[in-house]
Amino acid sequence: MQSEKFPLVFAGHVDHGKSTIIGRLLSETGSLPEGKLEAIKNYCKLNSRPFEYAFLIDALKDEQSQGITIDTARVFFSTQKRDFVIIDAPGHIEFLKNMVTGASRAEAAILVIAADEGVRENSRRHGYMLSILGIRQIVVLVNKMDLAGYSEEVFNRIKEEYTAFLDEIGIKPLGFVPVSGINGVNISAKSKETPWYDGRTLYEFLDVFKAKEHSAKQPFRMFLQDIYRFTESGDNRRIYAGTVNSGTLKKGDGIVFYPSGKKSRVAKIETFPESDKTSVEAGFAAGFTLEEQIYATRGELVAKAGEPAPQSASRFQAAVFWLGSEPLSRNHTYFIKVGTARTTLRLVEVTKLIDTSSLESKSGSEVGKFEAAECIFEAGKPIAFDPIGDNQETGRFVIVGDYEIRGGGIILKPLSDAPFAAKIDTSERERRFGHKAAVIAVESENFAVELEKNLFALGAFVCWFPDLELSQNLHELELLAKSGMLVIVKSEGNGSESLKNKENLVFMHLSEDKNGSVEAAINELRTSGILSL
């Protein structure tokens, strides 16, 4: 269901003051349960601990079972203009999962950098991750300004350094604010400590954020979640259900399921309880029946006929952010989840590897923890999606390995399903094996066995295939030859005719001399330029 609350995320290096600022914000916006602040202050006094706003968050979390304003992942507060929900911070697996699966989707981020420590690893990593996830509205708080004597110079230095970083990843922040979470400087009111700063306070920036338009102008998209049948009550309806990712769907609209390409028309928008609603839009759970029943499966992407179609591909280029402790590698089969679609996933190639903290490109064929990369992936079956540039909603995915979410990312573009050309040159194989790839036909089985043994002893990459037939197994022969192998098969009269048009196959018919000498045959291979061993 659509939430009226504006989803916001706080990011930044540990101990730079996120909880403190959130605590301040809750208190200064009057969003705390009555008496809570006093109770914590008293508790701190009694225990001779200095009061920390961060305790407030912890205390509130402990009380989630009492159903007040907070649960482990969400804190609510309001400005005069609107309500906000703070969702968990980047870097947590849960955050990534929620962001990419759409369980919660931050539309803006507050990045906190402590003035005394300056830009640190996570300041950069979180920034990078926000950019991957397509969060463009970012306000940077330079916190702990009290520890820097509220120095304009310190503020400007951090602002410059971090602006340059964000610039490289394509983010233009809405602004930088010098704050002190502890002293409440520039949080909800302009403070005298920073007379040189004439920009907005944090509170003022909150009202600048623009809520995402669940625009009716965008093409309709809905990942099919389930098909409900009511056969028990003699009701033949099949209700196709999901949550609308974008656009609007009306009774009578023609729809297409991707990747299957099956088509039908909406007979009725179904609601529970029954209502006379005839359309449903982005952000809402939807159910509809079709004029013509079709067989569709969970994970298909429903689009509207006449609107731009989504892409369908099993090979695609994607930007990923890896959080698993084991690197993302080609030796492992993963699962990918895009919307409600789920299938196996293999890494084909890492095309660009990035250290998210230094933004340096590195070389490597695996993606380690906290690294980001552009990769080519191959899914076990075609998946429907929109490249992130076209639709923010349907191109995000998570990667699951060993039952846990290990990483996530966005699909950049579909790739054709044609297999990749081998990167190893034929001549490289020839050099390694000491011979060309060739199909060698011999007359007798005994001879084949002897020839294989002798060539193998010389170090050749050779195999005798008693069951392969020249005329019947052309495809197999080609595949074997591609690997650089000397393939021995039994000659079968005119069978070799079928190899004539195969320019990429070297073929040789070896005849046994009267003594059945393998030596002579091997010499023949040498003189014909096939064998150099």
Specify the residue, 52 or 281, whose C-beta has the smaller distance to ligand GDP: 52
Structure-block tokens of residue 270: 């179904």
**Contact indicator for 249, 277 with CB cutoff of 8 Å:** no
- Smallest gap from Cβ 135 to ligand GDP, in A, equals 18
Specify the residue, 19 or 289, whose C-beta has the smaller distance to ligand GDP: 19
DSSP 70-86: EETTEEEEE-SS-EEEE
CA angle 208, 210, 213 (to 5 degrees): 165
In the block, which residue shows the tokens 């998210």?
356
CA angle 126, 130, 132 (to 5 degrees): 115
Task: Give the binding site for ligand GDP (CB under 6 A).
Answer: 12, 14-20, 52, 54, 143-144, 146-147, 180-182
Q: How many CB atoms lie within 10 A of CB 195?
A: 10
- Smallest gap from Cβ 186 to ligand GDP, in A, equals 10
- Smallest gap from Cβ 14 to ligand GDP, in A, equals 5
Distance between CA atoms of residues 162 and 418, nearest Å? 42
Interacting residues of 257 by C-beta distance below 8 A, sequence separation 6+: 224, 263, 294, 296, 300, 301, 302
- Smallest gap from Cβ 19 to ligand GDP, in A, equals 3
Let me know how long the chain is: 533
- Smallest gap from Cβ 89 to ligand GDP, in A, equals 8
Specify the residue, 44 or 474, whose C-beta has the smaller distance to ligand GDP: 44
Specify the residue, 52 or 430, whose C-beta has the smaller distance to ligand GDP: 52
Distance between CA atoms of residues 178 and 146, nearest Å? 10
**Contact indicator for 382, 415 with CB cutoff of 8 Å:** no
- Smallest gap from Cβ 173 to ligand GDP, in A, equals 18
- Smallest gap from Cβ 141 to ligand GDP, in A, equals 9
Q: Considering only CA atoms, which of 143, 197, 126 is closest in space to residue 21?
A: 143
* Beta-strand pair 263-270/254-258: antiparallel
Specify the residue, 113 or 206, whose C-beta has the smaller distance to ligand GDP: 113
Q: How many CB atoms lie within 10 A of CB 468?
A: 18
- Smallest gap from Cβ 149 to ligand GDP, in A, equals 11
Specify the residue, 149 or 252, whose C-beta has the smaller distance to ligand GDP: 149
Specify the residue, 17 or 407, whose C-beta has the smaller distance to ligand GDP: 17
* Beta-strand pair 279-281/248-250: antiparallel
Which 3 state secondary structure label does DSSP give 309?
Answer: coil
Specify the residue, 148 or 521, whose C-beta has the smaller distance to ligand GDP: 148
- Smallest gap from Cβ 372 to ligand GDP, in A, equals 22
Specify the residue, 93 or 267, whose C-beta has the smaller distance to ligand GDP: 93
Interacting residues of 473 by C-beta distance below 8 A, sequence separation 6+: none
